[in-house]
Amino acid sequence: MTDAILSLTDARLTLTSHAGRVDILHGITLSVAAGETLALTGPSGSGKSSLLMLMGGLERATGGSVRALGADLSAMSEDALARFRRDHMGVVFQSFHLIPTLTAVENVAVPLELAGRVDAFDAAAAELEAVGLGHRMRHYPAELSGGEQQRVAVARAAAPRPEILLADEPTGNLDAANGAAVMELILGLRERHGSTLVLVTHAPELAARCDRVVRLSDGRVAGDETRDAAATGADMGGKAAVPRADLRGKAAATRAGLRGKAAE
């Protein structure tokens, strides 16, 4: 059995518009190990967010294959993809995407209710407590600051205990202090729940805290490096890259448990 929890083989994405055909991603081949934290970096327009959307089945590849937990996302119907994300993935967006007519606790409870959890509201409340918003449970999104809204979004993504967490520039709309707090929460999810994390970021100090950094340019992989676990802070060049094989040892503690959950 492969060690990869996510894998793309020659994945392509082409969109059509009134202006004609636009090639977004050009034959991406990439795998992500269970328990790994991976940063997708590169200039605006390089295809980072589009690649993340392929990984989550939120965009359908127009060529090649995308697999998660051994399942072929390209072959699934929209309903099947929605169920798969509900059961195995959490997604955090730059723009929060909270439901404005629901309170914080109701927003976090939504994926749990959809999964049939009888303890949806108790679990949602516990997750809000974990992100420091126990006192804001009954507030609506418009009554929360940007940092608080993003913490609600993180709690919603984490509450179902997903094997895979995808984050699309989760600090992009936040000031430095709130952005740092949100990233601590997101990076802490692997430690608490064993989640595999893939995040899109322009911030080198955030990318440097991940196990691995994949750099995109013009819809292609332009660089793929793993980082020493001690390499933190803004200086991404201050630590030497380490072999990909070393990363497998870091993920071994979580891999068996994730496989078992995926097989249920």
**What is residue 153's three-state secondary structure?**
helix
CB 4 within 8 A of CB 33: yes
Q: Domain for residue 187, yes or no?
A: yes
The pLDDT of residue 47: 94
Neighbours of 114 (CB within 10 A): 14
Query: How many structural domains compose the chain?
Result: 1
pTM for the complete prediction?
0.81
Q: Domain for residue 67, yes or no?
A: no
Q: Domain for residue 16, yes or no?
A: no
Q: Angle between the 146-158 and 104-114 helix axes, to the nearest 10 degrees?
A: 20
Sequential DSSP letters for 65-96: EEEETTEEGGGS-HHHHHHHHHHHEEEE-TT-
The pLDDT of residue 95: 86
C-alpha span between 166 and 180 (Å, rounded): 17
Residue showing tokens 């179902």: 160
Label residues 10-45 b or e (16+ Cβ within 10 Å = b).
ebbbeeeeeeeeeebbbebebbbbbbbbbbbbbeee
CB 142 within 8 A of CB 172: no
pLDDT tens digits, the chain, 264 residues: what are they?
347 999 999 999 998 888 888 999 999 999 999 999 999 999 999 999 999 999 999 999 999 999 999 999 989 999 999 999 999 999 998 888 999 999 999 999 999 999 999 999 999 999 999 899 999 999 999 999 999 999 999 999 999 999 999 999 888 888 888 888 888 888 887 777 889 999 999 888 889 989 999 999 999 999 999 876 434 443 443 333 444 434 344 444 444 444 444 444
Neighbours of 137 (CB within 10 A): 17
Q: Domain for residue 101, yes or no?
A: yes
Q: Domain for residue 6, yes or no?
A: no
Q: What is the token pair recorded at 69? A: 């937990």
Q: Which domain holds residue 46?
A: 33-61+76-263
The pLDDT of residue 3: 76
Identify the CATH number of the domain in which residue 132 sits: 3.40.50.300
The pLDDT of residue 228: 64
Q: Domain for residue 252, yes or no?
A: yes
Q: Domain for residue 69, yes or no?
A: no
Q: Domain for residue 1, yes or no?
A: no
User: Residue 264 burial by CB count (10 A; 0-12/13-18/19+): exposed, middle or buried?
Assistant: exposed
